[in-house]
Every structure is written in structure tokens, then in C-alpha cells.
Amino acid sequence: MFTIITGAQFGDEGKGKIVDMMASQYDIVARFQGGDNAGHTVVAEGKTYKLHLIPSGVLFDARLLIGPGTVMNPGILMEEIAMLSDNGVEVSPSKLGIDAKTSIIMPYHVALDGLREQKRAVKIGTTNRGIGFAYVDKVGREEIQMADIADKSRFMRKIEEIAPQKEAAIKEMGGEPKIARSEIDAYLEIGKKLKPYITDVSKEINKALKDGRKVLAEGAQGTHLDIIHGTQKFVTSSSTIAGSACAGLGVGPTKVNEVIGVIKAYITRVGEGPLPTEQKNEVGEHLREKGGEFGTTTGRPRRCGWFDMPLARKAINLNGYTSMALTKLDVLSGLKSIKLCLGYELEGKNIDYMPELSDDVSRCKPIYIDIPGWREDITDTESFVDLPENARLYVELLEELMGADIGYISVGPGRKQTFMK
Ligand code: GTP
Ligand code: IMP
Ligand code: MG
């Protein structure tokens, strides 16, 4: 059984919570793209865990894998392993496997990310974690891989080959060229510690599937931040959609059984880029405050707005969702009326699907319908029938307009605050 979970909007839909909730039923949970730009929050037994690299299944017995499609900052991984250990969760090599080919984020990637963003006339709002430049090196065939930092002579050979052009690039952007050769000893030290974790992720997952075991692929960021299909240039540097799980983990598309889309009952975005239903007013404030909409990785306030159906329709096409998990329905409680964006007006025409180009998306004027809200606190609700009538109507309307089944509904950050529709 192979299940893929991705975010259907701009990230932070609550994938961490949904993966944690499902992980007890899976044998393997694997990350297939992105890096520590992701911030997955898992709330369990009164504790809050903020995870950036380690898959959100960590609190269960599942084997965890970091696939070769990801980019990994080893220092951040070590911090995360230490944080979990402090909380009584040991992440040993029998628990976590890292693919030998996983791209390593080097100090020069982080430096270049910051320097480039500073110089951009039109900013992206990156998380400043070196993600984009690590992927540039993967595509440019100049990456350093997990296996390299675990082997001194390979690592030194690669540094000698790569450092001169990194020095030149950093210098040209006004940075400190020495960064190109910094932290080498620290990387080797971590490489030694991580060596026992090295594995062949594709081989492990394919074997598990052949043996009838269950594998969950955990996406990071969200559909509209996809490097190929997203709102370029305001995107991340990896492919965030379901198909990327097959490529990133080395599993054939014929093996996929289920694709679950996590989607908020409204929408948020962190960083720059078009967000047609954004509410820069008291509604946006309500969503931000009540939903705790501040970035897990950067702490930045997230931009908030009404649910956007044209974006959801495109996400359903791009991912081929077999069902959806609707999160944060509780955050809408207390709003007198709720707007739902059915389509857009663009150049005098009405459209019901997200346009291809970011420039067009940013010119779209949302067409809303008003739906009566509900006052009741729903955070203790345990079943669909117990929701207030207007909340049920809202969920049913979303389902009908998306043309996709909502399998799970989440009404709070905790594990128990989820039920099946
Ligand atoms: P990225 O991989 O960074 O895109 O993040 P993510 O999709 O894992 O989501 P993230 O954890 O960054 O953000 C979701 C936030 O909402 C977290 O703080 C969760 O604890 C919280 N959360 C998840 N589901 C619910 C819900 O149904 N209601 C409320 N109130 N909070 C929720
Ligand atoms: P980068 O991935 O750091 O290069 O950032 C590129 C864009 O993606 C910026 O707008 C970020 O805010 C956004 N982004 C990256 N990771 C996440 C995430 O995990 N959640 C939400 N937005 C993200
Ligand atoms: Mg997040």
C-alpha cells in the first residue's frame, strides 16, 4: 500500500498533523522533496514538536526515510535528532534512513540564498535555508551528496572541485568568499555520525511494498509552490505535487494506491506571490490570530484569505487526489458570514480555474458567495453530524464544488481533534 500526502494550497495546510495521525497505520514514512524550509508541527500528548527534516511519523514505530529528492542540511538534522532525544524519542539508524544520494545543503548555499534574495528587485520571500541554491547544484550536476560527507577523501575532492566557483559567485554578490570552504570539519564530523543511517531508499520502499507493507510519502510545502506548475517565480525549488513522490523516492507510478490532499478551510501563504482571496483586514486578522498563522520555520505572519476554489480545482488536477483532509475548520468559528471564492473575473471574463501565469493570477478579482457562519466552538466535536448545521453545509458545499471527497476533518491541532467524514 503506497499513499502520498501533499498540500493542496501554499503549504502549512497541516500535513504534519495529518501524517502524525495516519503514521500508526504505516510501516514507513518518507520525505521526498524540499528540505528544512518545511516546518511540520505535530502536537501530541501536550507536547508540540516542530519538525523540518524528520518525517512526521517519528512519534510512532514506523521506519523513517529521507529520499534522494530532498535537500538536507546535516546540522539542522542533528539539532532535530537532539531535540527529539531530549523529549525521549530516539532516532537511531534502525529508525531513520537517509539516501546515499540526498543532496547536502552547504554553508555556501545558505549564503548565496541570502545574498541573491537581498539583491532581487522583486523578492520571493525565501526561508533563507539555501534550498534554491542546493537544487541549482543538483540540476547543475555539482551537488554534494550524503555519501560524500561520510567519506573524507570524496568530500575533499568535491570541495576542491566546487569551491573555486562558489568563492567567485559569493564574491560577485558581495559576500565573504571564505564561506565556500567553511565548516568542512563540522560536516565531516556529522558525516561520520550519519554514516550508519545511509540507505538506498528506493530499494527499501520497493521491497516493503512487495512484502505487503504500508508506505506513506509525506509532502512538504504545497501544490502552488511547485517549481514546474506553481505561481513562478514565487515558488520553492522542488516539485511539491504527488507525482514528485514517485520521482523523489524511486517508486513507479503503478505502485500508488492513494493520494490525499491536505487543504485548509481557508487559505494562507507565507512569502511573496499572488493570493487572490487575501484579506488585509479584520477577517485576515481573525484567521491569523485564531489559526496561529505564523511560519513554523521563519515565524513570519502568514497572509490569510478565503477558500479559493479555482486554486483547489487546479490542485486536484495536478495531484489526482483520491480524497482530501480538510483542516482548521475550527478557525472559522465566530465569523458571522464566510465568503467562498467560486471563480475569478479576469479581463472582463468570468473563469472558474486558476490561470497558468502568475501575472494573470495576480490580476484576478475573486467572485464570492456568502455563506452564513456559526458561532459555536467546534474544537471538541468528534463527528460530522455533531458539527453546527452551517459548518456541515460549508463542508458539503466545498466537497460538491471541488468534486472531491473529504475523508477527514480536523478541528484543532491535537491528535484527537480529527474525525472521518
Ligand atoms: P509545511 O510542510 O511547512 O507546508 O507545513 P505543514 O503542512 O505540516 O503545516 P504546519 O505544521 O506548518 O502548520 C499547520 C499549523 O496548524 C500547525 O501549527 C498545526 O499544529 C496547526 N493545525 C493543524 N490542523 C489544525 C486544525 O484543524 N485546527 C487548528 N486550529 N490548528 C491546526
Ligand atoms: P524557499 O523554499 O526557502 O526557497 O522559499 C520559496 C517560497 O516558498 C517562499 O515564498 C517561502 O515562504 C515558501 N515556502 C518554502 N517552504 C515553505 C513551507 O514549508 N511552508 C510554506 N511556505 C514555504
Ligand atoms: Mg509549515
**C-alpha span between 329 and 335 (Å, rounded):** 12
Q: For residue 30, is pLDDT > 90?
A: yes
AA letter at 338: I
Q: For residue 200, is pLDDT > 90?
A: yes
Is residue 73 within 8 A of residue 91, CB to CB? The reply is: no
Q: How far is CA 339 from CA 56, 305, 307, 309, 392, in A?
A: 32, 9, 8, 11, 15
**C-alpha span between 395 and 381 (Å, rounded):** 14
Structural domains counted in the chain: 3
Would the annotation count 75 as a binding residue? no
Pairing of strands 303-305, 267-269: antiparallel
| Ligand (nearest to CA of 262) | 1
Distance 126 CA to ligand 2 centre (A): 6
Distance 19 CA to ligand 2 centre (A): 20
- CATH (domain of 287): 3.90.170.10
* Same domain as 146, residue 124: yes
* Same domain as 188, residue 139: yes
- CATH (domain of 238): 3.40.440.10
Would the annotation count 95 as a binding residue? no
pLDDT grade, residue 212 (50/70/90)?
A: very high
Q: What percent of the chain has pLDDT over 90?
A: 98
What dihedral do alpha carbons 327, 333, 338, 342 form, nearest 10°? Answer: 10
pLDDT one-digit tens code per residue, 254-310:
999 999 999 999 999 999 999 999 999 999 999 999 999 998 888 899 999 999 999
Domain C-terminal end among 193, 225, 250: 193
Domain C-terminal end among 193, 219, 243: 193
CA atoms within 13 A on the CB side of 392: 10
**Choice from 32, 225, 327, 406 to test ligand 1 binding pocket (greatest atom count within 8 A of CB):** 327
Indicate which residues carry an active-site annotation. 12, 40
User: Per the structure block, which three cell numbers stand in for 295?
Assistant: 511560519
Specify the ligand 1 atom closest to the Cα of 295. 12
* Same domain as 413, residue 309: yes
Q: For residue 139, is pLDDT > 90?
A: yes
| Ligand (nearest to CA of 50) | 1
| Ligand (nearest to CA of 225) | 2
Determine the average pLDDT of the residues in 131-137.
98
* Same domain as 88, residue 202: yes
Domain that holds residue 412: 263-420
More confident residue, 46 or 29: 29
**C-alpha span between 54 and 65 (Å, rounded):** 8
Q: For residue 141, is pLDDT > 90?
A: yes
**C-alpha span between 338 and 372 (Å, rounded):** 6
pLDDT one-digit tens code per residue, 340-398:
999 999 999 999 999 999 999 999 999 999 999 999 999 999 999 999 999 999 999 99
Specify the ligand 1 atom closest to the Cα of 418. 27
Would the annotation count 222 as a binding residue? no
Phi, psi of 126 (to 5 degrees): -65, 165
Is residue 226 within 8 A of residue 239, CB to CB? The reply is: yes
Specify the ligand 2 atom closest to the Cα of 272. 10
Would the annotation count 328 as a binding residue? yes
* Same domain as 287, residue 412: yes
Strand-pair partners of 301: 294
Beta carbons within 8 Å of 278's beta carbon, 6+ residues apart: 269, 284, 303, 304, 305
Pairing of strands 365-372, 337-346: antiparallel
User: Per the structure block, which three cell numbers stand in for 371?
Assistant: 455563506
Global confidence as pTM? 0.97
Distance 339 CA to ligand 3 centre (A): 25
* Same domain as 209, residue 139: no
* Same domain as 91, residue 226: yes
Nearest to 274 by CA among 341, 339, 363: 363
Distance of CA 217 to the CA centre of its chain: 12
pLDDT given for residue 298 in this prediction: 84
Distance 38 CA to ligand 2 centre (A): 7
* Same domain as 67, residue 122: no
The pocket around ligand 1, CB under 6 angstroms, is made up of: 7, 11-17, 38-41, 43, 220-222, 291-292, 296, 327-328, 330-331, 410-413
Nearest to 269 by CA among 115, 125, 394, 84: 125
pLDDT given for residue 295 in this prediction: 87
Alpha carbon nearest to ligand 1 atom 14, residue: 14
pLDDT given for residue 45 in this prediction: 87
* Same domain as 109, residue 250: no
The pocket around ligand 2, CB under 6 angstroms, is made up of: 11-12, 37-39, 124-127, 129, 131-132, 220-221, 225, 234, 236-237, 270-271
Q: For residue 186, is pLDDT > 90?
A: yes
pLDDT given for residue 307 in this prediction: 98
* Same domain as 208, residue 135: no
Q: For residue 6, is pLDDT > 90?
A: yes
Domain C-terminal end among 259, 275, 304: 259
Specify the ligand 1 atom closest to the Cα of 219. 2
Distance of CA 371 to the CA centre of its chain: 30
Is residue 117 within 8 A of residue 124, CB to CB? The reply is: yes
Q: How far is CA 367 from CA 247, 263, 278, 310, 317, in A?
A: 37, 20, 13, 10, 21
Average pLDDT over the chain, rounded to an integer: 97
Helix extents (H) in 106-265: 107-119, 131-139, 146-149, 152-172, 184-194, 201-210, 243-249
Nearest to 109 by CA among 153, 156, 166, 66: 166
pLDDT given for residue 265 in this prediction: 98
Would the annotation count 38 as a binding residue? yes
CB-CB neighbours of 85 under 10 Å: 12
* Same domain as 210, residue 175: no
Q: For residue 232, is pLDDT > 90?
A: yes
Is residue 9 within 8 A of residue 315, CB to CB? The reply is: yes
* Same domain as 371, residue 309: yes
pLDDT one-digit tens code per residue, 382-407:
999 999 999 999 999 999 999 999 99
- Local structure of 275: helix, strand or coil: coil
Is residue 146 within 8 A of residue 101, CB to CB? The reply is: yes
- CATH (domain of 158): 1.10.300.10
User: b/e per residue, 300-325, with b = 16+ CB within 10 A?
Assistant: eebbbbbbbbbbbbbbbebbebbebb
